[in-house]
């Protein structure tokens, strides 16, 4: 095992030297906003828990492809697959009953990567969350709390880039016409409305609520786990004056939302679409896009193809290509950049950002390095004027 770990570090050394040369030619900073801790000296690999913008060798890409092919060759029989879709909410409900609100930490990286969540009239009440480097949280790769090292990462961002992007979005959204609906609905009088789908126990919701205080904004959040929604409502920061939490299955086409179409400025989908069968994801995104205002934005972050968590699945856990079942019955799909683009484009949304976030996660105690891959995207609903002219 020690020889394998050493050889892995040696292989990475060549990659870092090449990446270092590329950084020098581009001013020493990655063009993408997803962090700035870049490993240029392989001797430093175990100094931090996470390194950003990691480049893979062709050998590593091929090894990852082969591992995924190997663990996908034996699929769960079709006769047994249906329950993981029809009973999905039960598996997640049991997950939250077991872990309550102790499994994930609040996503303090949200406003670094998604400043569009802040309405124009909001002043961030937690400046550390908005401006400083924080420990960011991502789900454990196998849905278990037995390996807490994989639940956190160090996260840095370019705030000037985000401020400009957020400003452009906010101007765009507020050019959209006001919602005309005679039926009253929660948050009707707010000028800025956010929906988080698959909110879990509120690890995104409460950082948002606590950062939009005194702003004319409202947050909706839904999950198909009744246990998760109950935990959200029991949270001391929950208030019906700024938030409406409700049980909802986004895969159910006939289920209605408690707000009208074209009423939302932002939809947040963080590590939720990957839990849906790939054949159903497009329908979900199509439906969600109907509720965005023209100029509204959908923010997405989820698992990327050949992430460490995909490669560590054993044979017999595969439901379909790149779609797996965890030991607790919850499912996970691993996206490519091209799939993400097609997914949102076919729903009538235009690309603002579509990035593949490749990192090296390090267990310093065990001297093990793991390749992590996440997708991060932002897509805007076209204005009516743009649609009519095209």
Instruction: Give pLDDT tens digits for 46-85.
Output: 888 889 999 899 999 999 999 999 999 988 776 666 665 6
What's the pLDDT band for 342 if we cut at 50, 70, 90?
A: very high
Residue-wise pLDDT for 109-144, tens only, equals: 888 899 999 988 766 555 444 433 333 333 443 333
Percent of residues in the chain assigned helix, strand, coil, to nearest 5: 35, 25, 40
In 3D space, the residue among 147, 114, 140 whose CA is nearest the CA of residue 303 turns out to be 140
Structure token digits, residue 148: 């807490």
For residues 294-303, give the mean pLDDT. Answer: 97
**Residue 1: band (very low, low, confident or very high) from pLDDT cuts 50, 70, 90:** very low
pLDDT of residue 96: 62
Instruction: Note the pLDDT of residue 40.
Output: 86
What's the CA gap between 90 and 249, in Å, rounded?
12
Give the pair of three-digit tokens for residue 234: 């029991």
Q: Where are the beta strands (DSSP E) in 64-210?
A: 134-137, 152-155, 192-197
Strand pairing report for 50-51 and 349-363? antiparallel
In this predicted model, which residue has the larger pLDDT, 384 or 217? Answer: 217
Q: Classify the C-alpha dihedral 339-52-68-303 as positive or negative.
A: negative
Lowest mean pLDDT among 26-30, 52-56, 85-89, 303-307: 26-30
* pLDDT higher than threshold 90 for residue 20: no
Q: Which of 103, 105, 106, 129 is nearest to 118 (CA)?
A: 129
Among 293, 342, 89, smallest CA distance to 195 is for 293
pLDDT of residue 7 exceeding 70: no
Q: At 11, give phi and psi (nearest 5°).
A: -65, -40
pLDDT attached to residue 390 = 53
Bigger pLDDT: 340 vs 167? 340
Reported as a pLDDT band with limits 50, 70 and 90, residue 213 is confident
What is the three-class DSSP state of 117? helix
Confidence of residue 3 (pLDDT cuts 50, 70, 90): very low
The residue-averaged pLDDT of 207-228 equals 91
Q: How far lies 315's CA from each of 65, 298, 376, in Å?
A: 15, 35, 28
pLDDT at position 313: 94
Q: Cβ(371)–Cβ(9) under 8 Å? A: no
Distance of CA 320 to the CA centre of its chain: 22
Which secondary structure element, helix H or strand E, spans residue 25, and what is its range?
helix 2-25
Residue 91 confidence (pLDDT) above 80: no
In the DSSP assignment, the letter for residue 103 is S
At 252-272, the pLDDT tens digits run 888 889 999 999 999 999 999
Q: What is the 3-state secondary structure (H, E, C) of 5-16?
A: HHHHHHHHHHHH
Write the pLDDT tens digit of every residue in 143-166.
333 332 233 333 333 334 444 455
User: What's the whole-number mean pLDDT along residues 353-381?
Assistant: 93
Return the pLDDT at 145.
34
At 386, list the tokens. 């743009």
Q: Provide CB contacts within 8 A for 66, sequence distance 6+.
A: none
Q: Which residue is it, tokens 């439901």?
A: 319
What is the distance between the alpha carbons of residues 370 and 192, in angstroms, rounded to a whole number? 40
Name which residue leads in pLDDT, 180 or 244: 244
Q: What is the pLDDT of residue 124?
A: 53
In sequence order, what are the residues at sequence separation of 6 or more whose Cβ sits closer than 8 angstroms to the Cβ of residue 86?
none
Residues 6+ apart with CB under 8 A from 261: 290, 291
In a 10 Å sphere around its CB, with 0-12 CB exposed, 13-18 middle and 19+ buried, how is residue 196 labelled? buried
| High-pLDDT (> 90) share of the chain, % | 47
Rounded mean pLDDT of 87-97? 62
Q: Which domains does the chain have, with CATH numbers?
A: 78-360+372-389 (3.40.50.150)
């Amino acid at each position: 095992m020690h020889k394998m770990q050493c050889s892995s570090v040696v292989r990475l050394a060549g990659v870092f030297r090449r990446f270092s040369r590329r950084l020098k030619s581009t001013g020493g900073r990655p063009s993408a906003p997803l962090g700035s801790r870049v490993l240029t000296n392989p001797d430093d690999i175990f100094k931090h828990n996470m390194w950003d913008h990691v480049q893979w060798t062709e050998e590593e890409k091929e090894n990852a492809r082969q591992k995924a092919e190997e663990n996908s060759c034996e699929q769960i029989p079709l006769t047994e697959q249906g329950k993981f879709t029809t009973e999905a909410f039960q598996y997640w409900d049991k997950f939250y009953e077991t872990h309550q609100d102790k499994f994930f930490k609040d996503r303090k990286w949200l406003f670094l990567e998604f400043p569009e969540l802040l309405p124009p009239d909001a002043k961030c009440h937690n400046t550390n969350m908005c401006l400083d480097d924080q420990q960011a949280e991502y789900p454990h790769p196998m849905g278990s709390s037995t390996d807490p090292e994989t639940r956190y990462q160090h996260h840095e961002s370019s705030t000037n880039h985000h401020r400009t992007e957020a400003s452009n979005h906010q101007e765009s959204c507020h050019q959209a016409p006001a919602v005309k609906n005679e039926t009253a609905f929660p948050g009707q009088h707010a000028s800025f409305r956010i929906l988080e789908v698959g909110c879990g126990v509120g690890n995104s919701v409460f950082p948002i609520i606590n950062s939009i205080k005194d702003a004319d904004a409202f947050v909706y959040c839904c999950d198909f786990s009744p246990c998760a929604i109950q935990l959200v409502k029991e949270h001391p920061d929950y208030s019906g004056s700024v938030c409406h939490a409700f049980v909802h299955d986004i895969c159910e086409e006939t289920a209605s939302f408690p707000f009208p179409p074209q009423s939302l400025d932002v939809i947040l989908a963080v590590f939720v679409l990957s839990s849906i069968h790939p054949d159903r994801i497009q329908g979900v995104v199509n439906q969600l896009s109907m509720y965005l205002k023209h100029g509204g934005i959908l923010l997405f972050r989820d698992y990327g193809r050949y992430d460490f968590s995909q490669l560590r699945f054993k044979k017999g856990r595969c439901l379909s290509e790149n779609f797996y079942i965890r030991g607790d019955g919850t499912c996970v799909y691993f996206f490519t950049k091209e799939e993400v683009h097609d997914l949102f484009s076919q729903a009538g949304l235009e690309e603002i950002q579509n990035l593949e976030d490749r990192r090296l996660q390090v267990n310093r105690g065990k001297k093990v390095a793991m390749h992590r891959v996440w997708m991060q995207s932002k897509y805007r609903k076209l204005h009516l004027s743009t649609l009519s002219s095209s």
